[in-house]
Structure 1
Amino acid sequence: SAVAPATAATAATATAGRIKSIGYGDGQLKVNFGVNGGTSGAKFDVGSIGLSLDGRALKPAVTDANGGRSPAKRTVVLVIDTSRSMLGSKLDGAKQAAEDFLNAVPADVQVGLVAFSDKAVVKQQLTPEHPLVGLAVQQLQAEGGTALYDGVQEGLKLLGSTGIRLLVVLSDGDDSGSTIRPAILLARAKTSKTTIDAIGFQANTQRSRDHLQEIAQAGDGQLIQAAAADDLPTLFKDEATTLSNQVVISAEVPPELANHQVTVLVTGSYGATAVRDSAEYVIGAAKAPSRSPSSAPAAGLKPVDDAAARLATKDVFYVATGAIFLGLLVLLALLLRRPPDSTDAPIRRRLSIYTLSGRAAQEATQETSVLGGNALSRTAVDFAGRVVRQRNFETNLARRLEAAGVPLKPAEWLLIHLGVAVGVPLLALLLTGGDLLICVIGLVVGVLLPLAYLSFKEGKRTAAFLNQLPDTLQLVAGSLSAGYSLPQAIDSVVREGAEPIAGEFRRALIDARLGVPLEDSLEAVAERMKSKDFTWIVMAVRIQREVGGNLAEVLTTVAATLRDRDRIRRQVSALSAEGRLSAAILFSLPVVFAMYLLLVRRAYIRVLYTDPLGIAMLVVMLILLGVGGLWLRAVVRVEV
């Protein structure tokens, strides 16, 4: 089989026919045919070459790739692993094998060199001057990780897209730092029509062998195992011999076979040996030949489907993800589009101050949400409303939205939250070229970001309320001393105060005008603002209303007490600022550094989420990080 794995011992002596590539244009089918291995001095018998499509014999025109009036352009790129694991005799053996390859390869073949460790680097551009490549080989040094897929990608770029192309990959280990996704690399290799042979040099793990096999299979090549450094020169000489034993077969295709999948069969004689190979090919399609069942790859490895390969390319991925993201933006624009105000809009605005939400009263049948008044937005809000009611968290969410001063209904907030949770991972997917791990992190960020925003707004509004409370109590006490009633004093706060306390008192006053006891409406303000201080004030108001007393004097005393507490609170905050900053740095440093490595040097932490022991360590780390965060919070938090 042309793609079946071979050992080092058999690779040196086996001779098998091999279809390198198939092309079609202007009614002509062109097949590049060669042998694996080969015998010194043996050549193809051009007159014995036969070509058939689905058993139908054609009249081939055969040209030796090494000669003729227009010899075929042939290029080879050596992709050599220079990671730290190749240090010593391994790299020395690879250098000697490359030298032997350069000495044996035909003079017209252009050769390039790519080395990969932490990253892939082109060490020598394509050149027919083989000594230049040999000089670059001798300067290779072993260090860093193993960016196997990046090395193959650089090799494919260097080879170009014309002529007979061969990529020889030498590696001893698994990929541990590539930036390109394996699926994208394998898809590019399959559609490049480049033959890729992989040499597994002491690749002792099944994972590393599988990766090399997938690369060779995508390039319609073979994986060859090398158990020792002494095997490498023989294997590289075989690759050079393969280049020396190639023919280009051309034949006119019958019109009735156009746009049909056919079995291409090539037979012939190489020296005293009969050789043959077959491959499936779609006439008129620009695709690489697929191997026939007789030359199928090793069991357990699945070839990359052509359709999946096309969809896996980065350009198509960008277009698809961009289209989805653009569709979401258009949907959001439709939801946010507001209908024009009707003729009764001024009346509704004048009545809005008497509603609980502070928004204009509207007819139930044509209710307009913050997301718009069209049928689509109303349907979405109604559905989200049913969800929050069924899940029984509408009350808590509504309370938090009111405390944060966010003018949204729970259903509207849920829709926006869902949009952010979907949009952030889609954007991350688009920017990273399909990185699923970053997409998962983006999903977590998209879910937590609206919650963090809501908590921030809630905390900021509550803090502003507490800061305004002493001056507000002083204003209410002054109004009471001047002879105003408590509702009138509160109304003066509404007219002269600032947000958020003016808005909360306005709501309390509206509730009182609608029949709710003033003490109960003020108690609701204390619950929304989570203020124990205001709860005590409401308690003082209740006592004064029931048994009498000088409420103005009580409020003045409470205002002075709150100012003293606020002064102490600020002093404690200043004294504990260094401890709180240290706690924040200690807690966030592991997270931030892990994210940095994930984006810049993922190979350093890949073992934490690919190896069972690493996953266990990651879980323990997260538990310890959580416990440490709680402990730091308890240490730096001072109650006043």
Structure 2
Amino acid sequence: MIEPSHVARRRGIFALFVAAMMLVAALVAPAALAQETEAEAQVAPAELLMIDATEDPYLVLRTAEQPSLIEIFIAGVSVNAETPVALASSDIVVQTVILIDNSSESAEFLEPLIAAADDYVRRAPVTEEIGEWTSGGGTRLRVGFNNDHERTREIITNIVSASGGNKLWDGVRRSVLNMVDPVPGAANVVVFAANVDNASTSSAGEARGTILNANASVFLLHGGQTTSAEEQRLVEVSVAGFYAAPDGRNELAGYGSTISQVVASTWEVEFSGDAMLAGHTLDVTVDGVTLRGTFSNNTRTSGRALAPIVAPGPTTVPGLGFLEGETGRTVGLALGAVAAALCAYSFAILFQKEESGLDAILGAYTDPDSQNLADDESGNGFSKSLFLKRAVAFTEGIAERRGALERSEALLERADLSLRAGEAMTAYVGIVFASFAIGLVLIGGVPGLAVMGLLGILLPPFIIRFLAKRRSKKFVSQLPDTLNLLSSTLKAGYSFMQGMEAVSLEIEDPMGSELRRIVAEAQLGLPVETAMDASAERMNSDDFAWAVMAVKIQREVGGNLSELLLTVAETMTERERLRRDVATLTAEGKMSAIVLGLLPIGLGFVMWAMNPDYISVLFTDSLGKMLLGAAMTAVAIGFAWMKKLIDIEI
């Protein structure tokens, strides 16, 4: 038999959707599985610390060895780069703070800490300005910034243990605030400690804030048995620092020269500023290793935006390692080929020339090949998308067993979507799986699966319900005008069915399409009252059901149908006016409910942006997680209760 054009188009749209899903899989899966292999060449033994995009641009980087070849690209355009100059030999003043923990608790480690600090100063370049502070028993400046290293070493070797606790955070803050115009890479804080902070008036967060504002590098050497995660976080927010906690006393002294070597391996590279306005992305290749940073013109840019490109951890999906390399590319090409074939098939269906209904019917009898065509269509060929048919039939069976098929069909009809329930559910399953895959690739881990998976699960039903509700509201708003027009046609001498057909051609959708469907069903033999009841149920409209009931009563008891329809239309107009009045009166309550519901969430985001350390306890501590869950539950209950109070049905 001849397939109706709208059915063919619907199948074409569905095939196009499946092709898009397969194309996403073809593009995403091999890239995700090959990510580990491609990242091996991106491990950078260098760090980009700062880009100065002012009148005389330059950048500061730190490498393990003196770079021999440097190339700089701005927005992909190569620029002239000068020979790297050690920062200590440039015009930039290198300022280094040495902070030693000489508290009474660290007395047994004081000697190796002093030895490490002395070794640092001994190996420092002669131009490096070094200031020495102690944090035991109180923060004390021993000697200000100077390049008389012999004098500084003498002061360091004469440090003795002090009574009292370790004021590490106070020492970090005061010493960094003593720096003059610090430059990233040239502002260093070297901490030698054997005990955690236990006496500061400043918090760890304030110390981190000071380091961030100065764009300083923190090198923290911690001896002893007691360590603190706050010390490591202090290093993490700094510019290219490091944290070390050796096991024994004898290992401490050797770290002084190591830190000095790292600080001395910081370089200034001047480059031409001709291409600065071409973009805001800078790539610098250091001996074959590429670092990337973003910058703003006429400013200095530093911090995490200039971090080196480092290799991510293994990203191979468990159990799918066999898809790596050539196998993964082969699978991707196969999926891409199938997706292309489905796209071609769907576009052929979508854009084929429509035949008129009469030509299509007569063609079955006049075309000698039509019978063969019908036989082919009834066969088991792939021309009828056997795979899609089986997938749709499978999902339809599951939905029918769970009682969701009829609800889905009603919702799709109300939203005026040309999809069968089985087709929509098959597409929904595809969207959910694609969302999980995209979340795994773009975000990664459990958060990516949770966020994108939740969107894939909740968003399609929300969109369909939104479309259905919007169409139903428009249908109800058209009802009074429809009844008035129908009453006018009856007064003009039309019969009820003639009047309904005339009104269906004049009024806009969705009312027009529903009336045309009622007329078509009545012409096919269905009682008009039954067709109207089905339309009221389909559109979920109590008002239309009431109008249908009035028509039924009139047909049973008689009377003037035209006057009855006018009365019903007037009543519905008054009800709509009352609905709007109630909506106006409850608008303040609705807005209050929205504000009160979103206020805790918004306040939480603001607090997290201002002080992440303060709010992070709610996500890391067990009690914090319980309190956060209880608070979110209370917010949800309160919002639901307020919504119930202001939701007045008319």
User: How far, CA to CA, are the matches of 2:419 and 2:195 in structure 1?
Assistant: 59
User: How far, CA to CA, are the matches of 1:618 and 1:172 in structure 2?
Assistant: 30
Higher mean displacement: 375-384 or 395-404:
375-384
Tell me: CA distance 1:633–1:311, structure 2 relative to 1, closer, same or farther (3 Å). Answer: closer
Does 1:540 pair with 2:562?
no
User: How far, CA to CA, are the matches of 2:518 and 2:566 in structure 1?
Assistant: 21
Match among 600, 617, 620 for residue 610 of structure 1 = 620
User: How far, CA to CA, are the matches of 1:334 and 1:436 in structure 2?
Assistant: 34
State the match for 1:240 in structure 2. Answer: 256
Match among 451, 455, 472 for residue 441 of structure 1 = 451
Letter in 2 for 1:410: A
User: How far, CA to CA, are the matches of 2:97 and 2:109 in structure 1?
Assistant: 8
User: How far, CA to CA, are the matches of 2:385 and 2:634 in structure 1?
Assistant: 50
Considering only aligned residues, what root-mean-square deviation do their CA atoms show, in Å?
6.0
Deviation at 1:440, TM superposition (A): 1.3
Could you say what secondary structure the match of 2:222 adopts?
Answer: strand
Deviation at 1:603, TM superposition (A): 4.7
Aligned pairs for 1:15-34 within 5 A = none
State the match for 1:400 in structure 2. Answer: 411
Could you say what secondary structure the match of 2:246 adopts?
Answer: strand
Match among 366, 378, 381 for residue 392 of structure 2 = 381
Could you say what secondary structure the match of 1:346 adopts?
Answer: coil
User: How far, CA to CA, are the matches of 1:417 and 1:480 in structure 2?
Assistant: 46
Letter in 1 for 2:522: A
State the match for 2:210 in structure 1. Answer: none
Tell me: CA distance 1:514–1:556, structure 2 relative to 1, closer, same or farther (3 Å). Answer: same
Contact 1:102-1:130 within 8 A present in 2 as well:
no
Contact 2:113-2:192 within 8 A present in 1 as well:
no
Contact 1:335-1:374 within 8 A present in 2 as well:
no
- Post-superposition CA distance 1:537-559 (Å, at most 9, x none): 11111112222221111110010
State the match for 1:259 in structure 2. Answer: none
Match among 460, 481, 485 for residue 495 of structure 2 = 485
Does 1:141 pair with 2:173?
yes
- Post-superposition CA distance 1:356-413 (Å, at most 9, x none): xxxxxx989869xxxx975554454344333323433111011011111122222222
User: How far, CA to CA, are the matches of 1:632 and 1:378 in structure 2?
Assistant: 46
State the match for 1:101 in structure 2. Answer: 116
Aligned pairs for 1:131-170 within 5 A = 140-141=172-173
Deviation at 1:452, TM superposition (A): 1.5
Aligned pairs for 1:167-178 within 5 A = none
Deviation at 1:235, TM superposition (A): 6.2
Contact 2:501-2:516 within 8 A present in 1 as well:
yes
Letter in 2 for 1:544: Q
Contact 2:123-2:257 within 8 A present in 1 as well:
no
User: How far, CA to CA, are the matches of 1:94 and 1:496 in structure 2?
Assistant: 94
Letter in 2 for 1:418: V
Deviation at 1:517, TM superposition (A): 1.3
Higher mean displacement: 447-456 or 595-604:
595-604
User: How far, CA to CA, are the matches of 1:528 and 1:635 in structure 2?
Assistant: 29
State the match for 2:222 in structure 1. Answer: 199
Q: In structure 2, list runs of 5 or more residues that go unmatched.
A: 1-64, 66-85, 88-94, 131-146, 157-168, 176-183, 198-203, 206-218, 235-242, 262-310, 362-372
Deviation at 1:518, TM superposition (A): 1.0
User: How far, CA to CA, are the matches of 2:108 and 2:485 in structure 1?
Assistant: 89
TM-score of the two chains, using structure 1 as the length reference: 0.51
Does 1:579 pair with 2:589?
yes
- Post-superposition CA distance 1:122-174 (Å, at most 9, x none): xxxxxxx897x999x9983299xxxxxxxxxx99xx99xxxxxx99999959x
Tell me: CA distance 1:408–1:570, structure 2 relative to 1, closer, same or farther (3 Å). Answer: same
User: How far, CA to CA, are the matches of 2:112 and 2:494 in structure 1?
Assistant: 101
Deviation at 1:483, TM superposition (A): 1.9
User: How far, CA to CA, are the matches of 1:393 and 1:81 in structure 2?
Assistant: 71
Tell me: CA distance 1:139–1:312, structure 2 relative to 1, closer, same or farther (3 Å). Answer: farther
Deviation at 1:109, TM superposition (A): 6.9
- Post-superposition CA distance 1:320-345 (Å, at most 9, x none): 9x999999999777655515249894
User: How far, CA to CA, are the matches of 1:597 and 1:535 in structure 2?
Assistant: 52
Contact 1:325-1:426 within 8 A present in 2 as well:
no
Match among 532, 538, 549 for residue 522 of structure 1 = 532
Contact 1:424-1:442 within 8 A present in 2 as well:
yes
Q: Which has the higher helix share?
A: 2
Contact 2:436-2:453 within 8 A present in 1 as well:
yes
Deviation at 1:497, TM superposition (A): 1.0
State the match for 1:508 in structure 2. Answer: 518
Could you say what secondary structure the match of 2:584 adopts?
Answer: helix
User: How far, CA to CA, are the matches of 1:91 and 1:426 in structure 2?
Assistant: 52
Tell me: CA distance 1:606–1:142, structure 2 relative to 1, closer, same or farther (3 Å). Answer: farther
Tell me: CA distance 1:529–1:79, structure 2 relative to 1, closer, same or farther (3 Å). Answer: farther
Does 1:588 pair with 2:598?
yes
User: How far, CA to CA, are the matches of 1:490 and 1:537 in structure 2?
Assistant: 13
Aligned pairs for 1:162-561 within 5 A = 199=222, 203=226, 223-224=245-246, 236-240=252-256, 309=313, 311=315, 337=344, 338-341=346-349, 345-347=354-356, 374=385, 377-432=388-443, 434=444, 436-561=446-571
Contact 1:335-1:377 within 8 A present in 2 as well:
no
User: How far, CA to CA, are the matches of 1:404 and 1:91 in structure 2?
Assistant: 73
Could you say what secondary structure the match of 2:643 adopts?
Answer: helix
State the match for 2:74 in structure 1. Answer: none
Letter in 1 for 2:417: V
Does 1:622 pair with 2:632?
yes
Could you say what secondary structure the match of 1:452 adopts?
Answer: helix
Letter in 2 for 1:340: A
User: How far, CA to CA, are the matches of 2:607 and 2:384 in structure 1?
Assistant: 46
Contact 1:474-1:555 within 8 A present in 2 as well:
yes
Letter in 1 for 2:173: Q
Letter in 2 for 1:199: H
User: How far, CA to CA, are the matches of 1:350 and 1:629 in structure 2?
Assistant: 59
User: How far, CA to CA, are the matches of 2:421 and 2:98 in structure 1?
Assistant: 57
Could you say what secondary structure the match of 1:140 adopts?
Answer: helix
Q: Which has the higher strand share?
A: 1
Tell me: CA distance 1:138–1:102, structure 2 relative to 1, closer, same or farther (3 Å). Answer: farther
Contact 2:116-2:252 within 8 A present in 1 as well:
yes
User: How far, CA to CA, are the matches of 1:335 and 1:598 in structure 2?
Assistant: 47
State the match for 2:308 in structure 1. Answer: none
Tell me: CA distance 1:611–1:486, structure 2 relative to 1, closer, same or farther (3 Å). Answer: same
Tell me: CA distance 1:104–1:222, structure 2 relative to 1, closer, same or farther (3 Å). Answer: closer
Could you say what secondary structure the match of 2:172 adopts?
Answer: coil
Deviation at 1:102, TM superposition (A): 3.8
What is the count of residue pairs matched by the alignment? 418
Tell me: CA distance 1:425–1:565, structure 2 relative to 1, closer, same or farther (3 Å). Answer: same
Letter in 2 for 1:473: L
Tell me: CA distance 1:521–1:107, structure 2 relative to 1, closer, same or farther (3 Å). Answer: same
Contact 1:172-1:201 within 8 A present in 2 as well:
no
Tell me: CA distance 1:592–1:561, structure 2 relative to 1, closer, same or farther (3 Å). Answer: same
Could you say what secondary structure the match of 1:340 adopts?
Answer: helix
User: How far, CA to CA, are the matches of 1:325 and 1:167 in structure 2?
Assistant: 52
Contact 2:484-2:565 within 8 A present in 1 as well:
yes
Bigger RCO (CA 8 Å, 6+ sep): 2
- Post-superposition CA distance 1:501-526 (Å, at most 9, x none): 11111222222222221111111111
Deviation at 1:575, TM superposition (A): 2.6
Letter in 2 for 1:397: S
Tell me: CA distance 1:311–1:421, structure 2 relative to 1, closer, same or farther (3 Å). Answer: closer
